[in-house]
Structure 1
Amino acid sequence: MVKAFNHLPDAVWRRPPPAFAEGPVAVPLCGDDPAALETVGTLVRDLGCVPLPVGGLDRAVYLETTTAFLIGLWHSGHDPRSLLPPFEAVTAPDRG
């Protein structure tokens, strides 16, 4: 069993491929079975997305909670991306 594909609305999955200006969509995957994760990872890549393993099934509850939070932001007119700095900003060496 693998938890995947629940973090975005169905309209995104209908895009050929589901990508935006920033690049392809990353799809979080939670699972304990390496073979199942590889199978779902292949499906993700076939859609033009990037598989993002985030832990075992015990972490699926966090994916569910995060999805509920994102949906709440979208429905209230907020862009969830505004909550997070660009990746480069948090991975760049401290220059202070």
Structure 2
Amino acid sequence: MRSDAFARRAVLALLASTLAYPAVAQSENPRRIGIVGAGNIGGTLGRLWLKAGYEVFFSSRHPDELKALIEELGPKARAGTPAEAIAFGNAVLIAVPYKAYPELGKENAAALKGKVVIDAGNAVKARDGDIYDEVEKNGIGAVSAKYLAGARIVRAFNAANYRIFLKNAGRPEPRMAVPIAGDDPKALDTARTLVSDAGFDPVVVGELDAAKKFAMGSAGFGHELSATELKAKLGVAP
């Protein structure tokens, strides 16, 4: 009898330990993204990731203004400050005017260190002023790395207007390709997943410096091409 009771207790203990693992995995949910800037591009991509099953944290300097958006999008969407969004996400999308990068990086330096950052910003002379000249001189990848120091940056979702992403997300094969560039292989893997889950095909163009090939104003900007077509356009090996 004692041996039977011991055996039953052992089986129950094994089952309990086995069932505990999925709960741990769920609590460390990798499908969480923070979005800094809930405007056109941030709002568009956030909706696409919500549709794909992600938890999405939208943010702005005035989070109260996002209340209606969150009520519309449901329980997997939430809103708060940029600092809260950065802390929440396993990856963070930066989608704010480029002139905000220096202050954003300074205010969140510790939180951004080691974080995967999907950098969707573009520098525009009329809006962003002097930092546009810095981008023209040094390349947007280098400038983003300067002001978001320590982050694992991947340039993505900056090569087209948000309306193009909205129009083409999840289109029938061949899907629209999205060029990406970064120095960190694991961050690139994360970006590939995020691009694919949003309904596009990722095309790795190269390291972060290669982002100039699809920066605003370049020949690689503004296309609705398949992966094969985009690789040919940007000179990326098939």
TM-score under structure 2 normalisation?
0.27
2:180 paired with 1:29: yes
Write the mapping of 1:11-50 to structure 2, written as runs, cut at 5 A: 11-15=163-167, 17-19=169-171, 23-50=174-201
CA RMSD of aligned residues (A): 3.2
**Identity of counterpart residues, as a percentage?**
35
SS at match of 1:68: coil
* Structure with bigger gyration radius: 2
- Residue in 1 that maps onto 2:16: none
Distance 1:15 1:28 in 2: 17
**Contact 1:32–1:57 under 8 Å retained in 2:** yes
Q: Conserved in 2, the CA contact under 8 Å of 1:12 and 1:18?
A: no
Structure 1 position 19, deviation (Å): 3.1
For the residues of structure 1 that align with 2:163 and 2:191, how far apart are their CA atoms? 20
How many residues are paired up? 75
Structure having greater relative contact order (Cα 8 Å, sep ≥ 6): 1
Instruction: Give CA-to-partner distance per residue, 1:51-92, whole Å, 9 cap, x none.
Output: 10010011112221xx414599x7xxxxx78xxxx96xx8xx
Is the Cα–Cα contact under 8 Å of residues 169 and 198 in structure 2 kept in the other structure? yes
2:214–2:220 CA contact under 8 A, matched in 1:
no
Task: State the secondary structure of the residue aligned to 1:24.
Answer: coil
Deviations 1:6-57 (A, max 9, x none): 111111222372537x721111110010111011110111012111001001
Moved more, 8-17 or 40-49: 8-17
Contact 1:30/1:57 (8 A) holds in 2? yes
Distance 1:37 1:46 in 2: 14
List gaps (5 residues or longer) in structure 2.
1-152, 233-238
Does the alignment pair 1:7 with 2:159?
A: yes
Extract unaligned runs of 5+ from structure 1: 75-79, 91-96
**1:53 aligned residue (180, 193, 204):** 204
Q: Secondary structure of 1:7's partner? A: coil
Q: Whole-Å Cα distance in 1 between the matches of residues 161 and 201 of structure 2? A: 17
Please give the secondary structure, in 2, of the residue aligned with 1:19: coil
Cα distance in 2 between the residues matched to 1:5 and 1:26: 10
SS in 1 for 2:211: helix
Closer, same or farther in 2 for the Cα pair 1:49/1:71, shift >3 Å? Answer: closer
